[in-house]
Chain A
Amino acid sequence: MFTSVDDVAARLAETGYLASPAVATTVFLADRLGKPLLVEGPAGVGKTELAKAVAQVAGARLVRLQCYEGVDESRALYEWNHAKQLLRISAGRDETWDETRTDIFSEEFLLPRPLLTAIRGDDPKVLLIDETDKADVEVEGLLLEVLSDFQVTVPELGTVTATRRPFVVLTSNASRELSEALRRRCLFLHIGFPDEELERRIVRLKVPGLDEALARSVVRVVGALRAMDLRKLPSVAETIDWARTLIALGADTLDETVVRDSLGVLLKHQEDVLKATAKLDLDAL
């Protein structure tokens, strides 16, 4: 899919995703080694966006499995279409039992769910397994077969093996420790907060109306907030929101009043706001 690490960075940038060297390298390796990519990091640094960008670059279909507590085989893998099977049985009343039985367990009555969808067919696909840590431990076991051999076993049909391996991205917020077996099968990528220069480029790209000097100040203030000991550190998503807010407020430069009034966009806890206000000397005026 990609020829070099620089190629990854350049093509991701075309879709509007500015990748750090670490991100570009790992995506390149995931493609080369054909291994799933496990992405961890704080909320709002672009984990899900990465999968979307890769899908766009590769011209692939994005298949998404959103995990939540209680997601199970019939939601992740496949399900038999019971209603249709019943209709089929009642439609063919004169048939013998053998004919009916083989008939209702065929592809026609199979409802593929994301994991099966991703490994069937010949078109390129990107499989995004979002918030893997929210799913129960049993689902991880289910993923192991899919991620290591790219195959799914349906007892009535047999084993479906991928003819073309999808590019797999798993994301996690680390609210639960994923099992060692799952981690072992993946390349691990931790996306942290971007460095100052990269974040400035991201903000400028996402908020075109922002001028260079203001973008610089915005990123520096956010950087200072991240160095503080806060309950919830502002993420890239918050930086972009804040930049948009500043444009909406018509602010050309940052000053105490503007920052104080819009701090709520960046910080989501009252005590964080109080702490930041004190540290940035916003009360001075």
Chain B
Amino acid sequence: MTSPATGVTGVTDGTGVADRLTSLVAALRAHGIRIGTGETVDAAEAVAALGLTDRELLREGLAATLLHSPAQRPVFDPVFDLYFPRGVGAPEGEAAGRDDLRDRLASALAADDRALMGRLAVEAVDGYGGYGSSPGSDGWSSYQTLDRIRPQTLLARVRDEIRARGGSAGFADRLLEDEIRRRIEAFRALVVAEARRRVAERRGRDEIARRAVAPTADRVDFLYAGKAQVAELRRAVQPLARKLATRLAARRRRAARGSIDLRRTLRGSLSTGGVPMKPVLRRRRPARPELVLLCDVSGSVSGFSDFTMLLVQALHDQFSKVRVFAFVNRVDEVTGMLVHGRADPQGLGSRIQAEATLTGWHGSSDYGMALGEFAERYGDAVGPRSTVFVLGDARTNMSDPNLAAVRQIRERARRVYWLNPEPMSSWGTGDSAAPEYAALVEMHECRNARQLSELVARLLPV
């Protein structure tokens, strides 16, 4: 490496730092993190107080001054790596052989030496990540690097090495494989970050910061969320539910301040000679509204409906009755599978698919058929106190949308809302019957967790 191992390179004078800092802030803002000028000034003061000698201190200092919540950290770290890189250019010296690199990686993994793993990631990307024909290579690919180095195949070797040294004995030995897996995962992340940095050097930092850094979990589109992001979203269910519950409770408290109950005020005034000293307010009966969820769980939108089901189930205490129905082209009740507090997010989707009767002759979703069957079989689940949420993309696969069934549900229920995970611009394209349904019931775009929590807070009955 061309620079001292811990410092920041490529920044020398004061204006350089200021520019770097403001473009870092701009990149973070582009990812929806709200940062005011005041915070930027604080960050600059932090840089002045900490100096540029230790990069990790600088990272923590900037995070403390610029960020406001832990959810923003996964966005901040890669952006920071781009604007305050550990080194610039390529490492010095000849590229090591693949086997030599793997040997050294194995011992680094065995020793859990993060600093060494970082240096090895740099070497690996340099030696095996470049593609294209020009000498400096046209681009850098973390995928290609990992494909050639294959760190996952080192598991058995590292395990044996640690065992041979007696570094792990007794009970904790059974944890060893998982620990090594986590270390390998950390190495992969390092390689990805390094490849991104090299690409950014080539193509301009600002563009890469905007494009190649994943957004915060609550802004990820449900329909395009990867496996890791879905897992992260599911972990977000509990805290989100708790926040929504306190918000609902606060709304309920406010709603409790009612008008004067004349009869009870007069009766109370008898003890003070007919002078109403204490007005008695009419207490509103705590309305415990019922909730009916109608979820499309077909492959295309299942991530979305799973998440919503879990969220509503976590809000369970707030409602007298929650009933959940799932459908693909037939409808079945799945309330029982969502026992409160025990809902296992991982297996929920597959369990619903396995245990409920959701498909008839074919496996693709049919809104008309499912809604018709719901109105017919479970019509009594919907009453004047219930609010119905329909979750789905309203793509009918060219079959009849069965608007009569929706009308029937609407007449029975207190409110019907439709949450659609597709962007509003694509409603009505192809086989989407969204505009037809939207004409009958209130339809909202609900593409990510942020929109969902806003909608739930607004639409859920008090």
Interface status of B350 (Cβ within 8 A of chain A): no
Question: Which residues in A have their C-beta under 8 angstroms from that of B346?
Answer: 229
Q: How far is the CB of B283 from chain A (nearest CB, A)?
A: 20
Question: Which residues in A have their C-beta under 8 angstroms from that of B67?
Answer: 188
Give Cα A217–Cα B175 distance, bound, in whole angstroms. Answer: 10
Are the CB atoms of B57 and A224 closer together than 8 Å? no
Interface status of B164 (Cβ within 8 A of chain A): no
Question: Which residues in B have their C-beta under 8 angstroms from that of A188?
Answer: 63-65, 67-69
Give Cα A35–Cα B49 distance, bound, in whole angstroms. Answer: 14
Q: How far is the CB of A21 from chain B (nearest CB, A)?
A: 6
Interface status of A145 (Cβ within 8 A of chain B): no
Are the CB atoms of B50 and A217 closer together than 8 Å? no
Are the CB atoms of B42 and A217 closer together than 8 Å? no
Interface status of B45 (Cβ within 8 A of chain A): yes
Q: A21-B57, A25-B64, A184-B39 are in contact. Are A255 and B246 (CB under 8 A)?
A: no
Q: How far is the CB of A47 from chain B (nearest CB, A)?
A: 13
Q: Please encode chain B, from 312 to 341, with 1 for each CB lying within 8 Å of some chain A CB and 0 for all others.
A: 000000000000000000000000000001
Question: Which residues in A have their C-beta under 8 angstroms from that of B70?
Answer: 40, 190, 192
Question: Which residues in B have their C-beta under 8 angstroms from that of A35?
Answer: 42
Are the CB atoms of B179 and A220 closer together than 8 Å? yes
Give Cα A253–Cα B168 distance, bound, in whole angstroms. Answer: 12
Are the CB atoms of A33 and B42 closer together than 8 Å? yes
Q: How far is the CB of B62 from chain A (nearest CB, A)?
A: 10
Are the CB atoms of A254 and B170 closer together than 8 Å? yes
Are the CB atoms of B171 and A26 closer together than 8 Å? no
Interface status of A177 (Cβ within 8 A of chain B): yes
Q: How far is the CB of A198 from chain B (nearest CB, A)?
A: 13
Q: A40-B70, A254-B172 are in contact. Are A26 and B34 (CB under 8 A)?
A: no
Q: How far is the CB of A221 from chain B (nearest CB, A)?
A: 6
Interface status of A108 (Cβ within 8 A of chain B): no
Give Cα A192–Cα B74 distance, bound, in whole angstroms. Answer: 14
Interface status of B149 (Cβ within 8 A of chain A): no
| Cβ < 8 Å to B, chain A residues 149-194 | 174-177, 180, 183-184, 187-190, 192
Q: Please encode chain A, from 15 to 50, with 1 for each CB lying within 8 Å of some chain B CB and 0 for all others.
A: 000000110011011001101000010000000000
Interface status of A212 (Cβ within 8 A of chain B): no
How many of chain A's residues touch chain B, expressed as a range? Answer: 35 or more
Q: A21-B56, A26-B61, A189-B64 are in contact. Are A256 and B171 (CB under 8 A)?
A: yes
Question: Which residues in B have their C-beta under 8 angstroms from that of A253?
Answer: 170-171
Question: Which residues in B have their C-beta under 8 angstroms from that of A107?
Answer: none
Question: Which residues in B have their C-beta under 8 angstroms from that of A22?
Answer: 60, 63-64
Total A-B residue contacts, Cβ distance less than 8 Å: 101
Interface status of B342 (Cβ within 8 A of chain A): yes
Q: Whose C-beta in chain A lies nearest to the C-beta of B234?
A: A229
Question: Which residues in A have their C-beta under 8 angstroms from that of B36?
Answer: 184
- The interface on chain B, measured as residues whose beta carbon lies within 8 A of the other chain's beta carbons, has a size of 40
Chain B's interface: helix, strand, loop or mixed, by majority? helix
Residue among A184, A196, A253 facing the most chain B CB atoms (10 A cut-off): A184
Interface status of A205 (Cβ within 8 A of chain B): no
Give Cα A188–Cα B61 distance, bound, in whole angstroms. Answer: 10
Q: How far is the CB of B76 from chain A (nearest CB, A)?
A: 11
Interface status of B178 (Cβ within 8 A of chain A): yes
Question: Which residues in A have their C-beta under 8 angstroms from that of B42?
Answer: 33, 35, 187
Give Cα A256–Cα B170 distance, bound, in whole angstroms. Answer: 10
Give Cα A87–Cα B61 distance, bound, in whole angstroms. Answer: 54
Interface status of A281 (Cβ within 8 A of chain B): yes
Q: Please encode chain A, from 244 to 274, with 1 for each CB lying within 8 Å of some chain B CB and 0 for all others.
A: 0000000001111001000000000001000
Are the CB atoms of B174 and A280 closer together than 8 Å? yes
Q: Please encode chain B, from 31 to 73, with 1 for each CB lying within 8 Å of some chain A CB and 0 for all others.
A: 0001010110010011001100010110011011101111001
Give Cα A280–Cα B67 distance, bound, in whole angstroms. Answer: 37
Give Cα A221–Cα B175 distance, bound, in whole angstroms. Answer: 7
Interface status of A234 (Cβ within 8 A of chain B): no
Q: How far is the CB of A240 from chain B (nearest CB, A)?
A: 18
Interface status of A223 (Cβ within 8 A of chain B): yes
Give Cα A176–Cα B57 distance, bound, in whole angstroms. Answer: 29
Give 8 A-B contacts (CB < 8 Å), ordered by A residue: A21-B60, A25-B61, A29-B64, A33-B42, A33-B49, A183-B69, A224-B179, A271-B342
Chain B: residues with CB nearer than 8 A to chain A?
Answer: 34, 36, 38-39, 42, 45-46, 49-50, 54, 56-57, 60-61, 63-65, 67-70, 73, 112, 170-172, 174-175, 178-179, 182, 235, 239, 242-243, 246, 341-342, 345-346
Chain A: residues with CB nearer than 8 A to chain B?
Answer: 5, 21-22, 25-26, 28-29, 32-33, 35, 40, 174-177, 180, 183-184, 187-190, 192, 196, 216-217, 220-221, 223-224, 227, 229, 231, 253-256, 259, 271, 280-281
* Beyond A29-B49, A180-B68, A196-B112, 19 extra complex contacts between A and B, CB < 8 Å: A21-B57, A25-B50, A25-B60, A26-B61, A26-B64, A28-B49, A33-B45, A40-B69, A175-B243, A183-B68, A183-B69, A184-B38, A188-B65, A217-B172, A223-B179, A224-B179, A231-B341, A259-B171, A281-B174
**Cβ-closest 3 pairs across A and B:** A254-B171, A25-B60, A217-B172
